[in-house]
Structure 1
Amino acid sequence: MTERQVILVDPYAGAADYADAFRARGVTPVAVLTTPTPLPAYHHTWAPDRFHTVHHHTGDLAALVRTVRAHDPLAVIPGNESGVLLSDALTQELWPGTGNDPELSEARRDKWPMARALERAGVPHPRTLSTADEEEAANWLRETGLTSRALVLKPRRSGGTDAVRKVEPGEDWRPSFRALLGSVNRFGLPNDTVLLQEFAAGTEFAVDTYSVDGELGIVSVAQYTKSTRADRIGIYDAVDYLSPDDPRVAQLGAYTRDVARAVGIRTGCAHTEIMLTEDGPRLVETAARLAGSCLQHSARLATGDCQIDRTVRHLLDGEFTRGFVRERPTRVLWLSAPHAGTLRGGTVLDEARELPTFQRLGRAYPDGAHVPRTEDLFTSLGWVLLAGDTESAVDADTAAVRDIESRLPIEPSPPNPRQSRTGWESC
């Protein structure tokens, strides 16, 4: 086989853009899905036509290794959290010792081994327990002095703030525990235990990186704005990109390097979410894959670079970039539905295209679709990317977008089981 190929594991949503970036450099993208059919949570973003071939993992790793080896690939790259473990396994089989630490693979996917890896490495993090036993949880809360403190309960192997619940000080945590235990997360995995953590109060940031041979390069640092709806926390509202000379960047970068070492990240992309508290940085979670949704587009607008571009340059040109610049103020605005219902007249969002700093619009639902109440990233209505010459210009257009969002007509209605998302419209 003479043509160069690359293997992309679970390249849903924004990770599908790897395909275009590699094709532009003469490399053929091949997709591997970790499941026999696309994950339901990402079905609307699955675009098989963007890949030369699609293979499915049936559980026989040896057979999949033979299939992948026949492509003589440049690399195996995870496109989503669901692809991290399989990417690690394939890389170790094809190029032993060249990928991330195989002994710590679970710590890069499962939040419980992740917390224990940070503890072993002495990296500050929220106190954490994973259990299926209410009494064990109650005893742990008493022993750690967290009984009357705010808590966060979440699945161990999900993402996008799926089912993340906050329990206020003095509130009974057991109903949230019971609601999570035994449920199925957005990746189709049963929540056979629940992760309990002390709530870390502060400002949340995302540090996106690309590493080569254990050396970590920072691609971008962004500040999150999120909101709370009842006990659901972490509903995405906005992302703003920081300048490299912001004093918080150095602090967050140093902490991210400590986290990467603790969980064995040595090569490739990582997306690390950190709460900057009064006591310093505390990990929310890290994922050994690129930042998803529209964050590759927004990073390019903000910095002129992104994780996809760094991946391609490293694999094809041997290039490694350690730092970043900020070229212009850039903001991502996520759109939310305050209640479930039928979306009518969603074309009102087109008004955003006329704003001076408008760059791109993503819509998750067409007119006439039933939309759920927004509770996490998966139930967002879409997003708007803004970038301009000044912060004040972006702020002015942010107010205009929020006004447009408030005028989105959503008529209360029951869901139609035959109707679902038809895919992201992005332009």
Structure 2
Amino acid sequence: MNVASAPAVVIVDAYASSRCLAPLFRARGYDCVHVQSTPDIPQNYLRGYRPEDFSGHVVHHGDLAETLQALSAYRTIALIPGVERAVLLADALSERLGLPSNGTALSPARRDKYLMIETVRAAGVPAVEQLHTADLDELLLWYDKTGGRTVLKPVSSAGSDGVYFCSGPEEITAAFQSLHGTTSVLGQQNEAVLAQEYLVGHEYIVNTVSHGGTHRVSDIWKMHTLSANGVAELAAGAELLPRRGPEQDALVAHTFQILDALGIAYGPAHTELKLTPDGPRLVETGARVCGADVHVPVTAALGTSQLDLTVEACTNPVGFLSAADEDYCVDRHARVVNMVAPRGGVLRSYPRLDDLRALDSFHDVLFRVHPGEPVHPSIDDWTFPLRVYLLHEIAATVARDALTTRYLDGEGFYELA
């Protein structure tokens, strides 16, 4: 077999935000090869996949040796996962190929949310109380002992898929019955559910890129939630924070402990935390780039994004490490606003889109639903019809426009058939 002459970077499941990695690698002179982790691409990822960005395409049919043989045709210098569902396969392939790798020893803890928390706890990092069970009676007994508000969710999923906030045994029973035995957005069977104590405090996101165990922070976000469509805490949006501050310093220190505990020594990671009265607590970590196309406002606000740092770590590790102690600088303030559809139907138009575009800080919009397509009431990360990015040199302008965007949202924003 002839081996390709140009060095190549392999991306497993280059969907969602990771679809934008291949052009960045190619701009540096690297070929990109796509590994599809399953014979079929999930429907919710199909639209964003760009096969034209890849010089090679390998479909994994469950046989690791077969996939490794197919990849032997390329001069692979790095292999990374694109989305959550790709982490296990990427760990196995990179380890077997002798590439920089997080390895497989802790792979389950990087995907199974119960094991993730227990692994972090075992490393001495304070963590949330939780229960992994397939038995409703056991769950209700645990709730009776712990009390208070409880979160139920799949053990392995993505986004806010299947996340329930419960305030009593009736709600817990209903959530358990809604989850148990169903299939997650990643196509995995929910044979058990994960119950966790509800963490009081603001939620944050810390995005990082690592190489050889050295971690760099690419961006930090403060999340905003609202109650809508029967969901107690729906992710309404987020604001980009400066790198430094008392909250950020505590969150970053905690995040680095989590990355070390989970064996994330290489590549991007997306860590969600809550800052409780007792300090930061992990919600979950994904060993992949952040979704929601946040690299769009981040690049405009900071000049570089998690995607750029991922490319730098893979292709120029010396340069990446030499800048490890440098803080990012906010040149423009940024916010993300998720538009919340109040009801379902077939979308005819967005009548107030021009009002949105006229905002002083309007930067871009990501459409998830186009005219002629079905729109659903927004209940999770997968059902927002569009996402708005706001940027401006003045923070107050962005804050005002974020409130105006929320005001524009609602019944009058969607013309439905």
Q: Deviations over 1:234-255 (max 9, x none)?
A: 4221111111232111100110
Instruction: State which drifts further: 386-395 or 200-209.
Output: 386-395
Q: State how 1:63-102 maps to structure 2 within 5 Å.
A: 63-95=66-98, 98-102=100-104
The equivalent position to 1:353 in structure 2, one of 352, 357, 370, is 357
Aligned to 1:235: 234
Give the 3-state SS of the residue equivalent to 1:379 in structure 2.
Answer: coil
Q: CA deviation at 1:3?
A: 1.3
Residues 240 and 332, structure 1, Cα contact 8 Å, conserved in 2: yes
Number of positions where the alignment pairs a residue of Structure 1 with one of Structure 2: 408
For 2:368 and 2:125, the matched residues in 1 are separated by: 38
Q: State how 1:2-401 maps to structure 2 within 5 Å.
A: 2-95=5-98, 98-142=100-144, 145-146=145-146, 148-169=147-168, 171-229=170-228, 232-318=231-317, 319-320=319-320, 321-322=323-324, 323-346=327-350, 348-401=352-405
Q: Deviations over 1:215-234 (max 9, x none)?
A: 11111111011223365344
Q: CA deviation at 1:109?
A: 1.0
Residues 267 and 313, structure 2, Cα contact 8 Å, conserved in 1: no
For 1:237 and 1:188, the matched residues in 2 are separated by: 26
Give the 3-state SS of the residue equivalent to 1:332 in structure 2.
Answer: strand
RMSD between superposed Cα atoms in Å? 1.7
For 1:230 and 1:400, the matched residues in 2 are separated by: 20
Q: Is 2:413 aligned against 1:408?
A: yes
Q: CA deviation at 1:66?
A: 1.2
Judged with a 3 Å threshold, the aligned counterparts in structure 2 of structure 1 residues 26 and 250 are, in CA distance, closer, same or farther, namely same
Residues 342 and 371, structure 1, Cα contact 8 Å, conserved in 2: yes
Q: Deviations over 1:255-281 (max 9, x none)?
A: 001111111111110000001111111
Counterpart code for 1:266:
A
Counterpart code for 2:270:
H
Instruction: State which drifts further: 335-344 or 199-208.
Output: 335-344
Give the 3-state SS of the residue equivalent to 1:8 in structure 2.
Answer: strand
For 2:48 and 2:379, the matched residues in 1 are separated by: 19
Q: CA deviation at 1:405?
A: 2.4
Residues 5 and 75, structure 2, Cα contact 8 Å, conserved in 1: no
Q: CA deviation at 1:190?
A: 0.9
Normalising to structure 1: TM-score of the pair?
0.91
For 2:415 and 2:183, the matched residues in 1 are separated by: 28
Give the 3-state SS of the residue equivalent to 2:413 in structure 1.
Answer: coil
Give the 3-state SS of the residue equivalent to 1:73 in structure 2.
Answer: strand
Give the 3-state SS of the residue equivalent to 1:290 in structure 2.
Answer: coil
For 2:95 and 2:232, the matched residues in 1 are separated by: 37
Give 5+ residue unaligned stretches, structure 2. Answer: none
Judged with a 3 Å threshold, the aligned counterparts in structure 2 of structure 1 residues 312 and 250 are, in CA distance, closer, same or farther, namely same
Counterpart code for 2:339:
L
Q: Deviations over 1:162-204 (max 9, x none)?
A: 0100001565411111110001110111101000000001100
Counterpart code for 1:393:
T
For 1:74 and 1:347, the matched residues in 2 are separated by: 48
For 1:119 and 1:398, the matched residues in 2 are separated by: 37
Counterpart code for 2:373:
A
For 1:172 and 1:37, the matched residues in 2 are separated by: 35
For 1:232 and 1:10, the matched residues in 2 are separated by: 30
Give the 3-state SS of the residue equivalent to 2:217 in structure 1.
Answer: strand
Q: CA deviation at 1:340?
A: 1.2
Q: CA deviation at 1:29?
A: 1.6
Residues 208 and 306, structure 2, Cα contact 8 Å, conserved in 1: yes
Give the 3-state SS of the residue equivalent to 2:47 in structure 1.
Answer: helix
Instruction: State which drifts further: 202-211 or 99-108.
Output: 99-108
Counterpart code for 1:331:
R
Q: CA deviation at 1:68?
A: 1.5
Normalising to structure 2: TM-score of the pair?
0.94
Aligned to 1:420: none
Give 5+ residue unaligned stretches, structure 1. Answer: 414-427
Q: CA deviation at 1:101?
A: 4.1
Residues 164 and 232, structure 1, Cα contact 8 Å, conserved in 2: no
For 2:55 and 2:408, the matched residues in 1 are separated by: 40
Judged with a 3 Å threshold, the aligned counterparts in structure 2 of structure 1 residues 404 and 193 are, in CA distance, closer, same or farther, namely same
Counterpart code for 2:304:
D
Q: CA deviation at 1:22?
A: 0.9
Q: CA deviation at 1:370?
A: 1.4
Judged with a 3 Å threshold, the aligned counterparts in structure 2 of structure 1 residues 266 and 234 are, in CA distance, closer, same or farther, namely farther
Judged with a 3 Å threshold, the aligned counterparts in structure 2 of structure 1 residues 187 and 170 are, in CA distance, closer, same or farther, namely closer
